[in-house]
Amino acid sequence: MEIRFDGKVALVTGSSRGIGLAIATELAAGGARVMLSSRKADALEAAVAGIDGDVAWSVANAGEPDQASACVDATIERFGAVDILVNNAATNPYMGPTIDIDLPRLDKTVAVNWRAPLFWSQLAWRAWMQEHGGVILNVASIGGLSVEPTIGAYNATKAALLHLTRTLAAELAPGVRVNAIAPGLVKTDMARALWEPNEEAMARTHALGRLGVPDDIASGALFLISDASSWMTGEVLVVDGGAGVSTRA
């Protein structure tokens, strides 16, 4: 089945690399006009140069409300709509026991991973979706469904994001669908500290025998964004290579 987004406008946060860039690239390939957003202009410029299609970029730290508002305004000004919002930007500035996290890094984690998806959704709703409808996709994590010893604070924000997904799905229906995707361990720069030291051993814990790559998540994301999932809202799609069912050692 070919998934198309002709005539649609998408805004993807945290899209200069990794999962966000993969989603933005596939949306553009499917005919969407796409606004990429992240913190660094040079990274965004390089990302856009590698995408075929009608794409643009706007610098915004996802956790800063004023920058988020300016980015949504720039999307409306450039493309005339925000039909699709992908809340992908995330951060994990602390690894270690949750009981020991300092407040500045806790506040940053909450601001980017939970507060930002809410106010970006508010902005898209008020600027376009309330009147015209749309789709919101939150990029969460399987960490939001489990307990891990070194990234507990990060996982708590992802669990909160999953609950926010269900809440917004109920509040914004029927005009706006809101779903989440929960990736497993994906080979991105952000997750490098988790997979790079022992990739081979980590891969053996997955039923499919390998770690994920950004394109694996983009494929699931496109399904949730498209009309192929038009009777789904408030749902979480786990894409983890079978880590949750594996009996491999």
- Residue 87 belongs to some domain of the structure: yes
- Residue 249 belongs to some domain of the structure: no
- Residue 197 belongs to some domain of the structure: no
Give percent helix, percent strand, percent coil of the chain, each to the nearest 5: 50, 15, 35
Q: What is the pTM of this model?
A: 0.94
Domain residues for the domain of 76 are 9-183+213-238
CATH code, domain carrying 140:
3.40.50.720
Predicted pLDDT of residue 187: 78
Predicted pLDDT of residue 41: 98
Q: What are 5-29's pLDDT values in tens digits?
A: 999 999 999 999 999 999 999 999 9
- Residue 25 belongs to some domain of the structure: yes
Domain count, the chain: 1
154 tagged catalytic: yes
- Residue 191 belongs to some domain of the structure: no
- Residue 203 belongs to some domain of the structure: no
Q: What are 98-125's pLDDT values in tens digits?
A: 999 999 999 999 999 999 999 999 999 9
- Residue 202 belongs to some domain of the structure: no
What is the C-alpha to C-alpha distance for residues 64 and 14, in angstroms, rounded to an integer?
13
- Residue 198 belongs to some domain of the structure: no
Cβ neighbours of residue 119 under 8 Å, at least 6 residues apart? 65, 68
Question: What does each of the 249 residues of the chain score in pLDDT, given as a tens digit?
Answer: 789 999 999 999 999 999 999 999 999 999 999 999 999 999 999 999 999 999 999 999 999 999 999 999 999 999 999 999 999 999 999 999 999 999 999 999 999 999 999 999 999 999 999 999 999 999 999 999 999 889 999 999 999 999 999 999 999 999 999 999 999 888 777 766 665 677 777 778 787 888 889 999 999 999 999 999 999 999 999 999 888 886 555
Predicted pLDDT of residue 248: 56
Catalytic residue (one of 115, 154, 159, 188): 154
Residue among 222, 130, 132, 121 nearest 165 (CA)? 121
